[in-house]
Each structure stands twice: as structure tokens, then as C-alpha cells.
Amino acid sequence: MLLHEIAHCRAGDKGDISTLSLFPHDDADYELLRREITADRVRAHLAERVRGEVLRYELPLLCALQFVCHQALDGGVTTSLALDTHGKTLSSRLLALVV
């Protein structure tokens, strides 16, 4: 199934970094996300756009995973040549990952 079926995501930007916040619709799926959605998988899934390292933070009280993706915005919002300079669409692209 697609990650989209069990989780939702929001993208944020800071310089050339994209933050992707991932949450299960149902708290019971948090362990599944924690097990399956590793930093390496996110990096591989978004490899066309994310050029740097991906760090993952776990926030169990919020049932959240925070992915901090470096070199993700073509140099940064202000000088990027991408159409989506902020990387807003990366959140939905992440949800296309097959779990």
C-alpha cells in the first residue's frame, strides 16, 4: 500500500533544508512507521530531489517522525531554479512511498 493510506505529512523549508513531518492517521501505526520509514528509505525515495543527508528524529509523545533533508531545495528557496522553490510538494511525494 501507499504510505498515503496510513500517514500524513507536512513539508517545511529553511535555506536548502526541507523538513518533512510524518504522522500516522492512527496512533497504532506509529510503530510500523518507525520500523519501515527509515532515513535511508526517505533518502532513496526522494533521491531525484534530495542531494544531501537525511536525519530522522522520533517524537513518540506526538507519534511523529521528523525527517530533516539536507540539500533538498536546489541550493535554497531564494536562488533555486525549481518551480516549487519551497519544496512544498515533497510532503505528498513522500506519501507515494510503498509500505
Residues in contact with another protein by the rule CB under 8 A? 4, 8, 10, 12-17, 19, 21, 23, 25, 57, 59, 61-64, 66, 68, 74, 76-79, 81-83
Q: How far apart are CA 66 and CA 19, in angstroms?
A: 7
CB of 12 to another protein, least distance (A): 3
CB of 98 to another protein, least distance (A): 17
Cβ(23)–Cβ(62) below 8 Å:
yes
CB of 41 to another protein, least distance (A): 19
The DSSP output letter for 98 is B
Q: How far apart are CA 38 and CA 14, in angstroms?
A: 22
